[in-house]
Every structure is written in structure tokens, then in C-alpha cells.
């Protein structure tokens, strides 16, 4: 299918995040060509949390897990299942950060 909007582009990139890794809203925004649209990225994921899109693997640039449609706690729970350790709702980007190229 074809990408017809900024949102779809965000989903496409989010799907590329491998299991056990995480990415940030800002990096995602940059990957889609809108380095300043980190906010819009979060908005997009919030309205389209599909099972095909691992939106739970997207965290804030400071390492905080950020928010989640089903609750921050649930997001952390999933991340831990994936193998990502979260302390005080924060993850080590130095270890789990996945960079786009």
C-alpha cells in the first residue's frame, strides 16, 4: 500500500524497530523528514496504535517511556517482555536505542 500522509510514514518507520530495541519520537520525526515534528509523531501513534505497529517501542529522547494509549505502566510491561529494562519509567537509550539510517 502507498503512504499518503505523515502518519503512515511514521508507522512505516516504527515497524522497522526490531524486538528488544527502542527508538525516540524525535528520531522518528527526523527519519520521516520532519525533525521538529516529534509532537506530531506522538499524536499519530496515539490515534493509530495498531498491532502491526510496535508503538510501545517508541520512547522520549531523554529515555523516559513517555505515554501510551493503554497506560504508561502497560507500555513498560511490554518493553520488559521484549527484553528492555525500564527503571523509574526510563530506559537506557545507550543500550536499547535503535537508530534509523
Residues of the shown chain interacting with DNA in the complex, contacts defined by CB under 7 A: 5-7, 24-26, 34, 36-47, 49, 55-56, 58, 60-62, 64, 66-69
Q: Does residue 79 sit in helix, strand or coil?
A: helix
> Residue 35 or residue 83: which is nearer to DNA going by CB?
35
> Residue 55 or residue 84: which is nearer to DNA going by CB?
55
Q: How far is the CB of 47 from DNA (least distance, A)?
A: 5
Q: Any catalytic annotation for residue 49?
A: no
Q: Where are the beta strands (DSSP E) in 1-101?
A: 23-24, 58-59, 86-87, 90-91
- Residue 51 CB partners (closer than 8 Å, separation 6+): none
Amino acid at each position: 500500500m502507498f503512504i499518503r500522509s505523515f502518519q503512515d510514514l511514521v508507522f512505516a518507520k516504527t515497524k522497522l524497530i526490531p524486538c528488544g530495541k527502542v527508538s525516540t519520537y524525535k528520531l522518528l520525526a527526523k527519519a520521516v523528514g520532519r525533525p521538529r515534528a516529534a509532537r506530531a509523531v506522538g499524536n499519530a501513534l496515539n490515534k493509530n496504535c495498531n498491532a502491526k505497529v510496535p508503538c510501545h517501542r517508541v520512547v522520549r529522547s531523554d529515555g523516559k517511556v513517555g505515554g501510551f494509549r493503554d497506560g504508561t505502566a502497560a507500555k513498560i510491561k511490554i518493553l520488559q517482555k521484549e527484553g528492555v529494562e525500564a527503571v523509574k519509567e526510563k530506559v537506557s537509550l545507550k543500550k536499547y536505542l535503535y537508530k534509523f539510517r
